[in-house]
């Protein structure tokens, strides 16, 4: 099995099932794009001190980092760190988080809804691209979040490498990918 260094737990909540991000102030739907981030220097300001749960620059060496942005901008609304695990034939979601201004644990009035679901859809898209049929796995931060993923995303509890390890299989991911839309760009930072 591939090494799962920098094990992180996921606590992103799935709020509104919307194909685009939804502005909480206007209700307007906003188109999104996905950008791959390779530069540590770019990620250095995305860290624990300013609400991003981990130091994202430290993840670049072991994971592929993708940013969910408002289309036509580099206005990052969420980040996900992924590892392609050919032994498991799945993508390991190493870290995932909404921007602090979209995170209900950090603000009473998030800017956008739909970030969490989009981040899972990005993970599934990379899994399909890797030939893994959309299979992903990760570690929920606690029992409540695990139950949330089972209910909202059709995740299954595995609990082998971590008590709250979950997976989303091909059929469940197909539904997620049909719901969330984003433009996968070749743009990299």
Q: Tell me the per-residue pLDDT of 22-49, one tens digit each, with 9 for 90 and over.
A: 999 999 999 999 999 999 999 999 999 9
Task: Answer whether residue 32 is part of any domain.
Answer: yes
Highest mean pLDDT among 13-22, 41-50, 175-184 belongs to 41-50
Task: Indicate the number of domains in the chain.
Answer: 1
Residue 44 lies in a domain: yes
**Confidence at 7, pLDDT banded by 50, 70, 90:** low
Q: Is residue 7 part of a domain?
A: no
Which residue segment(s) compose the domain that 134 sits in?
21-188
143 in any annotated domain: yes
In the predicted structure, residue 16 carries a pLDDT above the cut 70: no
d(CA 67, CA 56): 11
Residue 62, domain CATH: 3.40.630.30
Residue 16 and residue 98 in contact, taking contact as beta carbons nearer than 8 Å: no
Write down the residue that tokens 């591939």 correspond to. Answer: 2
C-alpha separations of 180 from 18, 122, 167, 175 in Å: 6, 9, 18, 9
* Residue 6 lies inside a defined structural domain of this protein: no
| C-alpha closest to that of 179 among 152, 149, 143 | 152
Q: Is residue 1 part of a domain?
A: no
């Amino acid at each position: 099995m591939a090494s799962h260094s920098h094990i992180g737990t996921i606590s992103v909540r799935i709020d509104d099932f919307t194909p685009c991000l939804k502005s909480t102030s206007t209700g307007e739907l906003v188109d999104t794009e996905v950008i791959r981030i390779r530069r540590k220097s770019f990620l250095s300001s995305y860290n624990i001190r300013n609400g991003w749960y981990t130091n994202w620059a430290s993840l670049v060496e072991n994971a592929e980092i993708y940013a969910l942005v408002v289309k036509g901008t580099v206005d990052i609304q969420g980040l996900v760190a992924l590892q392609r695990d050919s032994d498991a034939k799945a993508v390991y979601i190493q870290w995932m988080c909404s921007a602090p201004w979209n995170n209900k644990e950090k603000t009473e009035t998030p800017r956008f809804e739909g970030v969490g679901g989009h981040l899972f859809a990005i993970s599934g898209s990379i899994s399909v691209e890797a030939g893994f049929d959309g299979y992903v796995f990760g570690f929920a931060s606690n029992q409540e979040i695990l139950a949330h993923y089972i209910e909202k995303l059709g995740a299954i509890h595995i609990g082998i490498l971590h008590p709250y390890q979950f997976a989303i299989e091909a059929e469940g991911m197909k539904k997620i990918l049909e719901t969330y839309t984003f433009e996968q760009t070749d743009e990299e930072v």
